[in-house]
Amino acid sequence: MITLQEVEKQLEAIGANSRFWGRAEIVELQHILIPGEQIQSLINGRYQGGFATFVTTDQRLLLVDKKIFFLTVEDMRYDMIAEVDFSAQLLSGTIQVCTPTKNLTFTTFKPKPLREVASYIQQRVMQLRNQYDPQQQQQSSVSPQPIGLPAQSNQATQTATKPAPVMRGVYAALLGSQAVTGAEQEPGLPSPLRRNPYMNAPMVTRRRIGRFGPIGTPQAPSA
């Protein structure tokens, strides 16, 4: 947090200090700005919620709406901005700042200063993107194979593209078969491969139950 005197000193340096309109928003800036942050422009106008002050600094965009009973602060970082649109009429100008999560529309009766603000925002966004682009290109770039190097042999190609062996033992275990013998077992599988424990369900014997007792007795199957 900085002092109000520092805020007024920065505004006087850019010729944007206001003594009446937007005075409450200027006083609130001392609680919003961080030490070392420099104000680049300040314009009074209106947005969806009414009268507000649009501030650009070297690090972010701020829209401050200070009323008697409530306060609204919109904070947009330059690296979050995806699109900046500007339109001007005879006595008004409108800027629309779009991010992946929200859109901000601001209108003022000073279209020329607002156009300069739009140009500054676009320059800051491009500067930040140019800083990240070389790193991304370096990470995602793949060096091509130099011309003149001998091609790989067919044996190496076949070895690289040879499919993995089918694990017959796994399928046999899922089907509930007996342990796979050493001749059928693929190399690399545990020996011996036992039955799947989830397939060992107990046998169930059913018999009729009458009104006065059991009817019939289950007999063991003949050998």
Q: Which amino acid is located at 60 in the chain? A: R
CB 30 within 8 A of CB 62: no
Indicate the DSSP class of residue 198: G
At 135, the pLDDT band (50, 70, 90 cuts) reads low
> Cα–Cα distance between 16 and 42 in angstroms, integer?
6
Q: What is the pLDDT of residue 71?
A: 93
* Residue 118 confidence (pLDDT) above 90: yes
β-sheet bridge partners, residue 50: 47
**Choice between 40 and 135, residue whose per-residue pLDDT is larger:** 40
Give the single-character DSSP code of 153: P
CB contact set of 24 (below 8 Å; sequence gap of 6+): 66, 67
Q: Among all chains, which residue has been given the structure tokens 């059928």?
A: 184
Helix (H, G, I), strand (E, B) or coil at 135: helix
41 DSSP assignment: E
Give 139's contacts (C-beta < 8 A, 6+ positions apart).
none
CA distance 129 to 137: 12
Asked whether 108 and 114 are in contact (CB, 8 A), the reply is yes
* Tokens linked to 191: 């020996």
pLDDT grade for 22, boundaries at 50, 70 and 90: confident
| C-beta separation of 71 from 65 below 8 A | yes
As beta bridge partners, residue 55 has 42, 62
Check whether 192 has a pLDDT greater than 90: no
3-class DSSP state of 182: coil
Q: Looking at the predicted structure, is the pLDDT value of residue 31 above 50?
A: yes
Please give the domain boundaries of the chain with CATH numbers for all domains: 4-131 (2.30.29.30)
Between residues 128 and 146, the one the model is more confident about: 128
Side-chain-side CA neighbours of 24 within 13 Å: the count stands at: 12
How far apart CA 45 and CA 29 sit, in angstroms, is 16
Over residues 41-68, the mean pLDDT reads 93
How far, CA to CA in Å, does 16 sit from each of 137, 167, 213? Answer: 41, 76, 102
Highest-scoring range by mean pLDDT, 15-19, 60-64, 167-171, 174-178: 60-64
What does pTM read for this prediction? 0.59
Enumerate the H helices of the chain as residue ranges.
Answer: 4-14, 23-29, 111-140, 154-161, 168-174
- Residue 69's pLDDT band, with cuts at 50, 70 and 90, is confident
